[in-house]
Structure 1
Amino acid sequence: MCGRFAITLPPEAMVQLFDAVPGNDLPPVPNFNVCPTNAVHVVRRGAAQAGDGEAGRRLVAMRWGVIPSWYKAPNDGPLLINARADTIAEKPAFRQAVRSRRCLIPASGFYEWTVTPDKARLPWYITRADDQPLIFAGIWQEWERDGQQLVSCAIVTCDANPVMARIHHRMPVILAPADIGLWLGEEGKGAAVLMRPAPEDALRFHRVDPAVNSNRASGPGLIEPIEAQG
């Protein structure tokens, strides 16, 4: 799964990387502890709101955690921050979105935890081995009720590759830059083939301070190797 991540890329870099038009309400960066329900940076294709007719890619803000259309309130059911690749086409909360509302969620790295025999949670920070930004496959959804409107998203996850499985049995679907057009639907159909684990040599990881176990923690120290913190 993916329950916490970091984003340090400035919006200008994301605009250039994805050839996207930026929105006006983008979340502040850097953020070393992006948590569920936070606003996150999302790249999507086409118009996401009524009256927004611009074509092409847009860099916008969305709430992390899909809100299905039948929820009476944003907290009316489970917090859906991840969508499993193996069931995404069947789940009512995701099946229409994966057909027509796919998106990209950029990140600098993400956190995962191992658990010791005495139940201590040890956090790890995972990045691309080549130091390039991570591009998570995502889906998005519009929700409206009683005059309240929210646009939300979820990260698509898959079985972990053997290297990542040392830490957790699931991992985000990480797209290569060459896969962006296909995932966004710009290159026709066939995006389902992209919902697979990243190659074993694509990622690297290191232990970080347990301070990140708190969703209130912040600052660049959260991603530093624990050995460097004395």
Structure 2
Amino acid sequence: MCGRFAQTSGRKAIEALVGSLDGDDLPSRYNIAPTQSVAVALVENGVRRLAAHRWGLVPSFAADDRSLPVMFNARAETLAQKAVFRSALQRRRCLVPADGWYEWKAVGRFKQPYLIRRPDRRPVMFAGLWESWARPDGSELRSVAIVTVTASPDLAGVHERMPAALPDEMFDAWLDTRVDGRSLALRGLHPSPVGAFEAVAIGARVNQASNDDPDVQQPVYPPKEPAELAQPRLI
């Protein structure tokens, strides 16, 4: 799963990957939690835009924005089967820029947090699905879910799932709703290659979502683990 992540790269770094984007700049965030606002890249009326969405998808048919669980993740394997995601898979796909995400690994009675990021610090684009929901007062709520896949072998020791990090060559197809979403998900949403990301042990400040500053990513020496629990090398 992906329950916390960071968006710290500026517009220029994002546009270098996906091309020019209309819309306002959004502030750097180091510890984004579900129901908070996130930046997504999408296409509307043929124009690529960077826009703020609530993290936690609210489908258009929802009776209210609290009648369903907070759907901040969507499993790639069942996107085409679940009614809550099926329409968005075809008509409302987006890219969610990220500079890393956080996972917690149980070590005895302690949960060690990890920052998972690219070794070169380059931003990554998560596959996302967005929806528009009409509030009772007539205003619009836009929301997004991040698609997840089985973790790559070198990250599975931290968590069994990971966000679907799209390769560069898939950005255009994911944003192009003329491309069939079901076939795109089946052929393109897979674990990242081994070595694509590094897992860095960090301090416990990240545990509190209200701590939203660069210090939450400060590396620490990880707790010593029993030999029988040793996993593939983590930083």
So what's the TM-score if we normalise by structure 2? 0.87
Distance 1:117 1:83 in 2: 29
Partner of 1:203: 197
Following superposition of structure 1 onto structure 2, how do residues 142-161 of structure 1 map, counting pairs within 5 Å? 142-146=132-136, 147-161=138-152
2:101 maps to 1:107: no
Query: More deviation in 12-21 or 215-224?
Result: 12-21
- The equivalent position to 1:218 in structure 2, one of 209, 212, 222, is 212
Q: Contact 1:27–1:39 at 8 Å: present in 2 too?
A: no
Partner of 2:19: 19
Question: Structure 2 counterpart of 1:191, which letter?
Answer: L
Distance 2:195 2:221 in 1: 23
RMSD: 1.8
- C-alpha displacement at 1:129, in angstroms? 2.5
Structure 1 residues not aligned, in runs of 5+: 48-52
Query: More deviation in 135-144 or 145-154?
Result: 145-154
Identity of aligned residues (%): 38
- C-alpha displacement at 1:117, in angstroms? 2.4
Partner of 1:134: 124
Partner of 2:64: 73
Distance 2:141 2:15 in 1: 23
- C-alpha displacement at 1:186, in angstroms? 6.6
Partner of 2:229: none
- C-alpha displacement at 1:116, in angstroms? 2.4
Question: Structure 1 counterpart of 2:39, which letter?
Answer: H
Question: Structure 1 counterpart of 2:119, which letter?
Answer: A
Query: More deviation in 67-76 or 162-171?
Result: 67-76
Q: Contact 1:20–1:56 at 8 Å: present in 2 too?
A: no
Q: Contact 1:23–1:61 at 8 Å: present in 2 too?
A: no
